[in-house]
Amino acid sequence: MFTTTVPRLLLFGALALVVLCSPALGTPRRVARLASANGSQNGASPDESGPPETMLQRQMLNPSEILSVLQIIGGDVIQKAIAQLSGTRLRFTPVAFSFGWVAYTFNAVMAVFGDGILMPRPEDEVIVVNLQSGTKKRNESWVLWRLVRDLELLSVSEAKSTVRIFWFLDGAGKPSPDVLTWLFVVFLPAQLVIAAIPWWREGNWLIFAITMVGTFLATVTGSLPQWRKERYDARPSKENQGYILTRGNGHLHSFTFIAPPGADAGLRLEDMAIVRPDHVKSLTTRIMMPLLAVCWILLLMTVGGLERDTWYLFSVGALGMVQNLAAAGIRRDSGAHGIPVREAPMALMQGNKTMGLLQEAEWKFPGVGLRLLDIYFSSTMLDEEEREYWKRMQDSLDSRKKVFLGRSRTLNDMGGLANILHSQLGNGGWALTGALVSPTDDSAEPPFPNVAQGGAGNERDEIELSTVPPGTSARRRA
């Protein structure tokens, strides 16, 4: 996360620095003098129409019209920033006052009296699969979509298809603070300092008052209880329940989440995947949103009436927009999404051939390969040998699950040992750890039929020997 997030933060920080150090803060008085001089030479007041350069100077002196327009664009950025930052344990959403709040508020009023949903819709399709029942659901949750997107960003350096397994951790539904959360602590004082400059220099306290009121309204709008209800409208997950999140055939990555043995951690992702307006609609939201819209309109009227020092307010809004853009777009870890997970040992499986990858996943984690098979391959794409193999896997699924559950506690507890061995021995560390917990019965079903039986197989079944699961005998690897 550190290597991918820091460059983006540096970019947003550079934008913020440009805003803070903009020479526009010193522009109003200079432009006023120029405008007055030109007006005197032409025998007209600065407020009257004149040459183009005079009109430009007046606009640079007092861009209040532009400020009014900026307040009604960018509502989608505001919605995504709130969706990313809401639901914290303190019930407080650290989102900054910026441009676009008026537009967003009216969209929110329309949504509240329409379908009743405040959260944005997912930007791409994600399939949620119940690992036990095989039930597939089309995801409607913004949080799950962003979780998949951010996990995929971690895997962009891997050109191969991957299947990754994660254990749920405690703390589901309680987003942990991250760098985006603390950006608010940095940006809010900077906004207040900028807004206080005209008050200190000329006694104009109106810019500071607008900033304070705008920050209060933004915080109240983003902290309505319905945001949290929509994010985590799901029952707690039970021990050994598992779910697969994938964008489907044609995409490289699939992610499996399993509640660890001996713990009821995580949320039922199949519940989260379905938006249920009747579960999350709130009378408080229906009352507050119209009132907040009226307040934002009054604030917009106040901004439109400013006649001086508008560059300070422009800088305040631009700085807030930098924070909102960062919140809406930058990748976050799973804990910040409110679904804390950690990767299981030996759980990163990758390969160029999808069939071999699914076979490996099924051998290590019973049921995963079978559920993904229905997504990536239709029955007409399988040859007779493959159909027979997967039929045996289906028939033996219950017995293999019992074996897996018997050793999954050991797998979960050995995460630290696996990491140590991997750091010392490379990939051999994973193999050594796997050998300690993998079945050694030579009568067990060979994980890869074409490799194990010496058959030539087709091109998609040919896999490197390094992907043969640890614990497989030398006879089978031949």
Q: Confirm if 346 and 452 have CB atoms less than 8 A apart.
A: no
pLDDT in tens, 194-223: 999 999 998 889 999 999 999 999 999 999
Give the end-to-end CA distance of the chain in Å, rounded to a whole number: 40
| pLDDT at position 407 | 61
Provide the 10 A C-beta neighbour count for residue 307.
Answer: 9
CA 257, CA 254: separation in Å to the nearest integer?
10
Give the lowest-confidence range in 147-156, 239-248, 345-354, 399-408.
399-408
Average pLDDT taken over every residue of the chain: 76
CA torsion, ordered 69, 75, 78, 80, to nearest 10 deg: -150
pLDDT tens per residue across span 240-260:
788 999 998 878 889 999 887
pLDDT at 249: 83
Find all residues with CB under 8 Å of 310, minimum gap 6, and list them: 28, 62, 63, 64, 67
CA distance 402 to 407: 9
Quickly state the pLDDT bin for 61 (edges 50, 70, 90): low
The residue type found at 50 is G
Residues 280-302, mean pLDDT to the nearest whole number: 91
> Mean per-residue pLDDT for 376-399?
87
Note the pLDDT of residue 158: 61
Q: What is the pLDDT of residue 52?
A: 72
What pLDDT does 415 receive? 46
pLDDT band at 301; cut points 50, 70, 90: confident
How large a percentage of the chain has pLDDT more than 90? 32
Amino acid letter, residue 174: K
What is the structure's pLDDT at 25? Answer: 42
DSSP codes of every residue in 243-311: EEEE--TT-SEEEEEEPPTT---SB-HHHHTS--HHHH--HHHHHHHHHHHHHHHHHHHHHHT--S-HH
Identify whether the C-beta of residue 215 lies closer than 8 Å to the C-beta of residue 96: yes
Is the pLDDT higher at 94 or at 353? 94
At 321-349, the pLDDT tens digits run 999 999 999 999 999 999 999 888 777 78
Residue 90 has pLDDT above 90, yes or no: no
CB 244 within 8 A of CB 370: no
Position 423 confidence tier, pLDDT thresholds 50, 70, 90: very low
What is the predicted pLDDT for the residue at 213? 95
**Residue given tokens 């069939």 in the structure block:** 355
- Do 183 and 328 contact (CB within 8 A), yes or no? no
CA 374 to chain centre: 27
Q: What is the pLDDT of residues 63-86, one digit of tens each?
A: 656 666 677 778 899 999 999 999
